[in-house]
Amino acid sequence: MAKKILLLGWDAADWKVITPLLDTGQMPNLEKIVGQGVMGNLSTLYPVLSPMLWTSIATGKRAHKHGIHGFSEPDPQTGGVRPITNLGRKTKALWNILQQNGLRSNVVGWWPSHPAEPISGAMVSNHFQQATAPLGQAWPLRPGTVHPPRLAEALAEFRIHPQELDGDMLRLFVPKAAGIDQRQDQRLYAIAKIIAENAGIHAAATALMQLEPWDFMAVYFDGIDHFCHGFMKYHPPRPHWISEEDFELYQDVVNSGYRFHDLMLGTYLQLAGDDTTVIIVSDHGFHPDHLRPQELPNEPAGPADEHRHFGVIAMRGPDLKRDELLFGASLLDVTPTILALYGLPLGRDMDGKPLLNAFAEPPAVDYLPSWDEVPGEAGLHPAGMQADPVDQAEALKQLVELGYIDPPAADLEQAAAHTVKELRYNLARDYQDSQHLPEAMALYAELWAQWPDEGRFGVHMLECQLRLDRPAAARETLERLQREKERYAQAAAAELQQLNEEWQDKRPEDLTEHEQRKLNQLRKKAGVNRHTFAFLHGRVLAAEGRPEQALAAFAQAMAVQVHHRPSLFQHQAEALMALRRWGEAEAKLREVLAIDPTDAQAPLGLCRVHLALKRPQAALDSALAAIGLIYHNPLAHCLCAIALRRLGRPDEAIAALNTALAQNPVFPAAHRLLAGLYRHRGQLDRASEHRALARASRQRIAAFRTGQGLPEDADVKLDLDLLKSASVATLSTPGPLPALDGEIVVVSGLPRSGTSMMMQMLAAGGLRLLTDGERAADANNPRGYLELAAVKRLGRDADTSWLDGAGGQAVKIVAPLLPSLPLGHSYRIVFMERPLKEIVASQAAMLADLGKTGGKLSERALAAAYLKQMDSVRAVLAARPERVRVLAVDYRTVLAEPAATAALVNRFLGGTLDEAAMAGAVDPGLRRQRLA
């Protein structure tokens, strides 16, 4: 349908800030979009973390489906940490789907989009705009920043360095900038950095718009989010904790950031033309008023607490309505809506819906099971590059504990462990937000067991237990939370006292930033927030059916009630409703809405109050208000149906119930209400059908709450026999080869695939080995490992001089380290292959003998991670055909036919080895793990 679509991402844009600017004519270009198209709130997801959310916008799927779970990820090569990449994304993005339908896309700055995908069109990754050197020094683009590579050199010229900006530009944001001592106050440079980076993205995007053909264009700007995190605290009205001096200097930065984006928007509108559909979205909002938090949570993603649950959407195009409001839109709806604009089917595995109420004439929408199952070139990274970084890190840990790879440096290892922790925590929160509560609880339990001093895991687990109506388990969790907090608070207080004694001669200004941070953390840990525990106790009492006691506990918790988090009033209202004290409950709910009119839970509570007090029209209005905020809200649609039935509008009630069941098919109350409506109509068959569905739903919920009848674990379902081996057989070099001429012989494969056995065969045949004997023989390898310690540092240690004199010798290098082989040498690789089930079982047995646990992965996940590693190995080896020759050798064949294997290997290595001695070195009795 649409000719062209331009999608602009304005991270953290919020109508609360935009509306006053529109009303005063300060954003004229956005005013054109709003006046000539549609606009509305865009509800976000939890956790409100931008890389997860922008990937959901680009895929129409939640994070547990798309695979991006945070800001950073483990680096499988170094064992350390790197910024989040798109390599862990496990589903097609919008531009991949469009490519499969013959459409070209230009994507600039999307988060995360590094390394750039090889799409039909152009992609500039989110690393493009970042200055990596002072002004005047070389500032090369990072590898993988631009696709196709032919554009890289030209586009690099469009980047802007923060130090290039002059005072006139900065005074547009800070009029009194000239009076700031920048040696003491670095905030002005922070503003320059945001302007420069976003201007660089804008320059590259507008160049591509004019010079490269496109059907779809997506451009992402992080400027508003960065301006808000740095300067929203100075935004009018002045919060009481901000000094008047700072307020006077920086009060207009946020508004200036919005005006800057509107100026850039004007260029896009001019270049795109009226035939292009323009869509502006933000992933969340940003509290600009009394809801701004004064303090942030003491956790890595704490700044996300400043985010508001609603972002913005504004659309203008030839197929869309004009000057209309949108209600109930979610960021998951962006990709489905764009597919509908192009007349393309939606994947049934997408979590969003097309915003058909935005269309002048709503199109018919087709579906297919999943775009991921559609074959064909989609511009994805090669299979060897795509991998779950957490699984890869755990697989690396497995190899470290098996002794095949050196552990990373202590600080790198600790950083990687904490990164994995945050990624798994964010995944758990996504599961929780999408009502996959058992999966969320399993992750919280694992995290809390590993980090018992971090009560946030226990708090979230308690929340899941309450949602599953498991009050007894919730009470146990609360009691454990209290015990753990008391214990760690005492330990923190003791450490704090010791530090105060050690630093008693130091003035506060003499402490380093690290020392100050440590003191602040210890002060927070040393305190026990009794009000928070009273609030949690009230929650548990309410779940236990003791609303009076719950209200008493909530009264003790009043200190937790802060303006930006009115949840205490909400729970007080719930307890009051349980006691049928409707008037008091209504008053509490109105207090919630006075604090935050966009709170989506309070209208549902008011709807229940109105229904109890026989006010069906007011109940309907409240239910519709909740739906207008968040459309995917089965309870709101069900309450809406109850109000409609009481108003004598049965057809609309049936439609509302069908919507509720489309969003949640396991909804007994909705089935029961439908049964009643159909019975009154005389449609007894349909009434009977929904009564049966109501019974089945109750049974499923009961099983769900008790943990019975849950879906079988995917690790158990997958037949590991399907994963026969991690193979490089397609790279095998056929036929005999000439004698070794300075080439290095590498024996490789996954650990426990027979690499030591092959080294023993080569030594028996007369080939010299490159080994140091540091790793002694043991019960797992009674004939020795025949390793070189320096090998274990490949990819981390720049010194590979040990390879310089290795020509004509054999060295053992496990498969995951092969991509790190230096390019300046030639290799003949004997690659050992063995069924993955046997490899994983052998590794587990070896770890048990060593008294270690290895990576925290199931057998299936570990096998899958190894397969991904092998994809990477194959890709690297295939790219070096002139330097690398490979012979694949099956472990089982060596044991069954040692003489034939010796002859094969000897021909591959030049024919100078003693084949009989090689065959005699094979001991079939060492094979302990076999496929069933």
Band of pLDDT at residue 718, cut at 50, 70 and 90: very low
Termini Cα distance of the chain:
55
Lowest mean per-residue pLDDT among 57-66, 67-76, 394-403, 864-873: 394-403
Number of H helices, E strands in the chain: 35, 19
Phi-psi bin for 766: left (phi > 0), alpha (psi -120 to 50), beta? left
CA 38 – CA 325 distance, rounded (Å): 6
Q: Which residue has the tokens 């100050």?
A: 516
Is the pLDDT assigned to residue 576 strictly greater than 50?
A: yes
CA 164 – CA 422 distance, rounded (Å): 36
Q: Any residues with CB less than 8 A from the CB of 757 and at least 6 apart, and which? A: 783, 832, 891, 894, 921, 922, 923, 926
Is the pLDDT assigned to residue 404 strictly greater than 80?
A: no
Q: How many CA atoms lie within 13 A of 445 on its CB side?
A: 12
Pick 534 or 390 by higher pLDDT: 534
pLDDT of residue 386: 64
The token pair that represents 850 in the structure block: 């060593």
660 near 667, Cβ under 8 Å?
A: yes
Lowest mean per-residue pLDDT among 12-16, 561-565, 918-922: 561-565
pLDDT of residue 347: 95
Band of pLDDT at residue 696, cut at 50, 70 and 90: confident
830 near 748, Cβ under 8 Å?
A: yes
User: Side chain identity at 76, as an amino acid letter?
Assistant: P
Question: Cα–Cα distances in Å, from 119 out to 107, 115, 207, 786?
Answer: 9, 12, 18, 45
pLDDT of residue 275: 94
DSSP string, 731-781: GB--S--PPPSSPEEEEE-STTSSHHHHHHHHHHHT--B-----S--BTTB
Which of 218, 217, 210, 174 is closest to 194 using CA atoms? 174
Is the pLDDT assigned to residue 717 strictly greater than 50?
A: no
Pick 519 or 69 by higher pLDDT: 69
pLDDT of residue 394: 58
CA 820 – CA 364 distance, rounded (Å): 52
Q: Any residues with CB less than 8 A from the CB of 906 and at least 6 apart, and which? A: 765, 912, 913, 915, 918
Query: Which H or E element spans position 259?
Result: helix 253-272
pLDDT of residue 785: 84
The structure's pTM equals 0.80
Is the pLDDT assigned to residue 712 strictly greater than 50?
A: no
pLDDT of residue 365: 93
Lowest mean per-residue pLDDT among 178-187, 347-356, 672-681, 751-760: 178-187
Is the pLDDT assigned to residue 398 strictly greater than 60?
A: no
Q: Which residue has the tokens 């021909």?
A: 907
Which of 796, 918, 870, 70 is closest to 392 using CA atoms? 870
Q: How many CA atoms lie within 13 A of 659 on its CB side?
A: 19
Is the pLDDT assigned to residue 719 strictly greater than 50?
A: no
| DSSP structural state of residue 6 | E
Is the pLDDT assigned to residue 141 strictly greater than 80?
A: yes
Per-residue pLDDT reduced to its tens digit, 887-911: 989 888 899 899 999 999 999 999 9
230 near 190, Cβ under 8 Å?
A: yes
The token pair that represents 332 in the structure block: 């998951």
Lowest mean per-residue pLDDT among 8-17, 19-28, 74-83, 431-440: 74-83
CA 536 – CA 533 distance, rounded (Å): 5
Percentage of the residues of the chain whose pLDDT score is greater than 90 = 60
Band of pLDDT at residue 402, cut at 50, 70 and 90: low
Please calculate the CA angle 303-309-311 and round it to the nearest 5 degrees: 100
pLDDT of residue 833: 87
pLDDT of residue 588: 94
pLDDT of residue 403: 60
The token pair that represents 795 in the structure block: 């990819």
Which of 356, 323, 322, 332 is closest to 283 using CA atoms? 332
Query: Region 863-881: what's the mean pLDDT?
Result: 73
262 near 178, Cβ under 8 Å?
A: no
Band of pLDDT at residue 932, cut at 50, 70 and 90: very low
Question: Cα–Cα distances in Å, from 485 out to 461, 479, 527, 528, 794?
Answer: 15, 10, 9, 7, 43
pLDDT of residue 384: 66
Query: Is the four-CA dihedral 185, 187, 188, 190 of positive or negative sign?
Result: positive
Band of pLDDT at residue 720, cut at 50, 70 and 90: very low
pLDDT of residue 154: 96
Band of pLDDT at residue 78, cut at 50, 70 and 90: confident
CA 624 – CA 620 distance, rounded (Å): 6
How many Cβ atoms are within 10 Å of 264's Cβ, its own excluded?
Answer: 21
251: helix, coil or strand? coil
pLDDT of residue 784: 82
Per-residue pLDDT reduced to its tens digit, 275-307: 999 999 999 999 999 888 877 766 666 677 788
Band of pLDDT at residue 709, cut at 50, 70 and 90: very low
Per-residue pLDDT reduced to its tens digit, 349-391: 999 999 999 999 999 999 999 999 999 999 999 876 766 666 5
Pick 768 or 563 by higher pLDDT: 768
Mean pLDDT, the chain, as a whole number? 87
pLDDT of residue 714: 35
Cβ-defined contacts of 675-681 (< 8 Å, 24+): 677/645, 677/650, 677/653, 678/654, 680/650, 681/650
Percentage of the residues of the chain whose pLDDT score is greater than 70 = 90
Question: Cα–Cα distances in Å, from 110 out to 85, 114, 810?
Answer: 11, 9, 46
pLDDT of residue 713: 36
Lowest mean per-residue pLDDT among 82-86, 467-471, 561-565, 826-830: 561-565
Per-residue pLDDT reduced to its tens digit, 819-839: 888 878 899 999 988 887 788
pLDDT of residue 95: 98
Query: Which H or E element spans position 40?
Result: strand 38-43
Per-residue pLDDT reduced to its tens digit, 220-260: 999 999 999 999 999 999 999 999 999 999 999 999 999 99
Query: Region 570-598: what's the mean pLDDT?
Result: 94
40 near 311, Cβ under 8 Å?
A: no
CA 829 – CA 814 distance, rounded (Å): 11
881: cis peptide before it, omega within 30°?
no
pLDDT of residue 927: 60
Where are the alpha helices (H) located in 613-667, listed in sequence order?
616-629, 634-646, 650-663
Is the pLDDT assigned to residue 565 strictly greater than 70?
A: no
pLDDT of residue 750: 86
Band of pLDDT at residue 506, cut at 50, 70 and 90: confident
280 near 8, Cβ under 8 Å?
A: yes
217 near 5, Cβ under 8 Å?
A: yes
